[in-house]
Amino acid sequence: MVNGSLVATCEVLQYSFYVDQDNIQTLLLLHAYHAGLYFNRTYPINKTTRKSMGLYSSSRVPASSALLLCFCVLLLAGVHGGSRRLYIVYLGDVKHGHPNDVIASHHDLLSDVLGSKEDSVASLVHNYKHGFSGFAAMLTEEQAKQLAESPEVISVEPSRSYTATTTRSWDFLGLGYQTPGDLLREGRYGEDIIIGVVDSGIWPESRSFSDQGYGPVPSRWRGKCEVGQSWDGNNCSRKIIGARFYSAGIDEEVLKADYLSARDGMSGHGTHTASTAAGSVVEGASFHGLAAGVARGGAPHARIAVYKSLWGPRAQGSSTTILAAIDDAIHDGVDVLSLSIGGGGPDDKDSFGMLHAVQKGIAVVYSAGNDGPRPQTVGNTAPWVITVAASTIDRSFPTVITLGNKQQIAGQSLYYQDKNSARSSFRNLTTGVGDLSCTEEALNGTDLKGKTVMCFPEDGKLALTPLWEFQSALQNVRKAGGSGLVFAQYTTDILGNTANCGGIACVLVDLDTGYQILEYMGSASSPVAKIEPARSFTSKEILAPKVAAFSSRGPSIYNADVIKPDIAAPGANIIAARGNSYMFASGTSMAAPHVSGIVALLKALYPQWSPAALKSAIITTASVTDEHGMPILANGLPRKIADPFDFGGGHINPNRAADPGLIYDIDPNDYNIFSCIMKRSASCNTTVVPGHLLNLPSISVPDLRYPVTVSRTVTNVGEVDAVYHIAIESPVGVRMEVEPSVLVFNAANKVQTFKVKLSPMWMFQGDYTFGSLTWYNDQRTVRIPVAARITIHDFFADVA
């Protein structure tokens, strides 16, 4: 216990704080809004911090010094009344003209609590001084409480932990490079739009970040290229125009496994997301021949600003690093922020950073999370950000399994054979002893050398996606000497784990296919099977898009009166850059940069549009049916027709978003009213306004007991003279009325307001039902989703 305490204390002294999964991140986005930026949401010590701690050239402290420092800290902990941890202190808008004056004000405030300027300097980890005012500091619980009582302080919260949550997808979305769609061409391929990527860094040598043919860096750019380990000024270019990194509060062991610079490390996550959003055109990209084609980002001529906030092989970060990145991004002049991160908690206490960004005109795009198909798991739910669900595309990777009776069965995988791999051949086919699962116990003592193993999930585990179960089965089969693995599961949305099976053949099959194989095994005296390498197959015959099973679902636990996620975009089996090659990855982390790239194109086409207008254009033009007219489905248990809690307004349709007809715009200051609910605004009054009263391109009433009337205002951005009629699809059990039912626009009347009345038709404790409101004419349809839940009691168990 004593040794453990000393180790923990020494780690704090080295500023490699372990940040537990507690508590901060959305008001930053509102300042970005006023600056014209967008975000996608998916975080290792900087030099200043190292110097303040006396760590000039090494991240390690000599053992003797560490021991002495440990005793010092233990003494200090006793003096200050408890152990210290990292807190985020939020002060609202910047109230001083120069960043140095902002920092001085932070020290004054902290010195009043800690007793001296010296203690303040030792406690501070990072100052937020550009887009908003605040700081990260090591404090005891009592010191945090004292700070929270100051009239200057809006909130004091513990720093949270965060983690990270293509050749075909852009063609699938109608943005083909060879025959560019309307938005890609009219948006000038995103030329000179600056996308800030808050992630695990970037691999600058990748062909996806070539700056060949690019002009000078935009003169409005105020960022910098921060040098560090394996990164110098030459790693920035006319494509990667800025690079910063933030490591305060990250565990020392995590930092050791990464580059202390903006260079992407083992995870490759940031390189993948950056190339998806804004990668340059690369001919002949593939993963060992699979998915061969042209790799590029959605806005291939956009510039990239890198803000490394995630570290190590698992791409871990904290509130401290992410807020620091957003603060600098606001100062640097990005147009769009892309954050493929999650894990900070469902209450969005860190959302003030995003609010400040949005209020500066920056559009912010976040990933929704990968905890689906369970309901109420969606993250990053602040109404000022774009929250993105993940979908599938019309490409599969059939992997043929030939049984000994010559029957051929198709599964899916990314299995390939390189020059060192054994060629495909028939091998004995078996299962675990007395158990169809491939747990360590089921395979214990079984000689699987040279055999292919048929595996099923453990009993009761079918509700899980195949991620860790497949990985566990693969490890056990390899350990027992197996040469192949066929794994049955209800969904094959995620194939990434089959890309590297350690030299053995592996394939995922559906449950019914798995039982067909079992029937053959039961009828054959010596069952055998041969697994061929996967092939790429793209066809309109594939039912797509579908909401991916892993994609987190609504409603939001804390903000149920705002429909989240907002939109769905491709996020399953997406190929993009990683290091010097190209890899598949799945997750809402892959979906968010698709939206970031599209927002960049829209920003280039409509530079004066606000983040809310851009978000509205995407949501109101989204598709709820596929090209065959079939309703878009959501994979899960069971598969079902997708609803707004699966994909918000629907599946993104970029070319339609370029011509939305009407937009639901929002004055960024209006978000301050909603932020009062989250206790993240300095301008709160006693009136709490529900989120459904914001002029959002959606309506959600989670507590419908009596008739409720909400207003919405639309702005005509199409032909000057236009007439729109209303089409109402009421949620089941709700009567929905719209007044007026016709909107007439002309040169003198570009903005119109209408009222929506929702009335419960019955009195009972209900569940959510869904509908929509659509304004239409001969040229356009402008649709928003509606969700309502009839209730009669304040508290009840069945909420989703």
Residue 35 structure tokens: 């600056």
Query: How many other CB atoms sit within 10 Å of the CB of residue 752?
Result: 18
Query: Tokens in use for 712?
Result: 């919405």
Residues belonging to the chain: 800
């003030």: which residue's tokens?
352
Distance CA 556, CA 539 (A): 35
Burial 19-37 (b: 16+ CB within 10 A, else e): beebbbbbbbbbbbbbbbb
Q: Please state, in angstroms and as integers, the Cα–Cα distance from residue 216 to each residue in 329, 573, 605, following that order.
A: 20, 35, 20
Which pair of tokens denotes residue 706?
Answer: 């009596």
Give per-residue burial for 400-416: e unless 16+ CB within 10 Å, then b: bbbbbeeeebbbbbbbb
Kindly report the backbone phi and psi dihedral angles of residue 271, in degrees, each rounded to the nearest multiple of 5, phi listed first: -65, -40
CA 327, distance to chain mean position in Å, is 19
Active site residue 269: yes
**Strands 386-391, 363-367: parallel, antiparallel or unpaired by DSSP?**
parallel
Contact 388/368 with Cβ under 8 angstroms? yes
Report the alpha-carbon distance of residue 515 to residue 490 in Å, rounded: 12
Asked whether the beta carbons of 592 and 366 are under 8 A apart, the reply is yes
Q: Is 589 a catalytic residue?
A: yes
Work out whether the CA dihedral 679, 684, 689, 695 comes out positive or negative. negative
Decide: helix, strand or coil at residue 409.
strand
In terms of Cβ atoms closer than 10 Å to its own Cβ (0-12, 13-18, 19+), residue 80 is middle
Q: Among residues 396, 377, 343, 336, which one has the least CA distance to residue 360?
A: 336
Q: What's 149-165 look like in SS3?
A: CCCCCCEEEECCEEEEC
Identify the burial level of 724 via C-beta atoms within 10 angstroms of its C-beta, where 0-12 means exposed, 13-18 middle and 19 or more buried.
Answer: buried
Catalytic residue among 31, 126, 269, 272: 269
Cα dist. 25→153, 172, 507 in Å?
16, 33, 40
Report which of 745, 740, 754, 682 is spatially closest to residue 712, judged by C-alpha positions: 754
Closest CA to 350 of 29, 47, 628: 29
Q: Which helix (H) or strand (E) holds 124?
A: strand 124-128
Residue 463 identity: A
Query: Which residues, 6 or more positions from 797, have their beta carbon under 8 angstroms from its beta carbon?
Result: none
Dihedral angle computed from the Cα positions of residues 19, 21, 22 and 27, in that order, rounded to the nearest 10 degrees:
90
- DSSP state letter for 216: P
Considering only CA atoms, which of 215, 202, 284, 283 is closest in space to residue 245? 202
Residue 776 neighbours by CB under 8 Å, 6+ apart: 724, 725, 727, 782
Q: CA-CA-CA-CA torsion for 565, 788, 636, 495, nearest 10 degrees?
A: -10
Query: Active-site residue among 16, 155, 159, 589?
Result: 589
Catalytic, out of 34, 106, 161, 199: 199
SS3 420: coil
199 has catalytic annotation: yes
Catalytic residues: 199, 269, 589
